[in-house]
Amino acid sequence: MRPERHQQLVAFLRSLGLEVGDRDLAPIEEALSHTSAGLARNHERLEFLGDAVLRLAAAEFLQRHYPNLSVGRCSALRAQLVSDRWLAELGEHCKIESVLHLGPMASGDQAGRATVRAECCEALLGGLYEAWGAGQGGLEPVHRWLSPHWQRSSSELLADPDRHNWKSALQEWTQAAGLGLPHYDCQERSQVHADPRRFHCSVAIAGQASHTGWGPSRRSAEQEAARAALAVIKPAPGA
């Protein structure tokens, strides 16, 4: 590894709250080498490892900080804390793209940037685990980096359990109220990939009172429509 690249990685890891010392940063370099760059070693192996590391670290975090949560609530909360959406936001926050090796197609694909950030954050977790000794302390840097972010996200999600999962929340509410399942009607309004108003969706409850939402995918448009419906029929937390 060139000295200037080593210094760049050291500075990046310090920005995450991690001191490198004399550790071998080869796993970090591998994690930050996206497949699109065409290098001999790329992020895929460590992304696979990082998926397991992430889930274990999140479970440990929840047991340590929220020991009284039920298993069901812990499972639902962990699903949010390890989601691709959460990882993409983490990657944006820590500016992971500034240290990635990316090929020209991936660099120019603005619509796919969130996916790249999520994949490489997960790979970086695998790289940290290896660089810090795997089973001999490899989870320590993961907790040091992610715990402040998990604390903030957990507080938000526990204050608003429906956050990012509005379709399920709406379905639970309508069934409990004896209104049956919500009905979603989505229409594509744009052919532009990742256009935030590509899909328009309306949701009807018991055949009436439609609420609408927009999104770059059918799923996101449905979630937005469900969120709009919940805002009307279900009091906000603390209201």
Per-residue pLDDT of the chain (239 residues; tens, 9 = 90+): 899 999 999 999 999 999 999 999 999 999 999 999 999 999 999 999 999 999 999 999 999 999 999 998 899 899 889 999 899 999 999 999 999 999 987 776 666 788 899 999 999 999 999 999 998 999 999 999 999 999 999 998 888 766 667 888 888 889 888 989 999 999 999 887 767 889 999 999 988 767 899 988 888 889 899 989 988 887 555 44
Was 47 annotated as part of a binding site?
yes
Is pTM beyond 0.85 here? no
Residue 239 lies in a domain: no
CATH code where residue 208 lies: 3.30.160.20
Does 224 appear as a known binding residue? no
Count of Cβ atoms closer than 10 Å to residue 87 Cβ: 24
Residue 122 structural domain: 3-159
Tell me which of 114, 131, 159 is where a domain ends.
159
Residue 70 lies in a domain: yes
Establish whether 60 is an annotated binding residue. no
**SS3 per residue for 107-146:** HHCHHHHHHHHHHHHHHHHHHHHHHCCCCCCCCHHHHHHH
Same domain, residue pair 137 and 45 = yes
> Please, are residues 94 and 16 in contact by the beta-carbon 8 Å criterion?
yes
Residue numbers annotated as active site: 51, 122
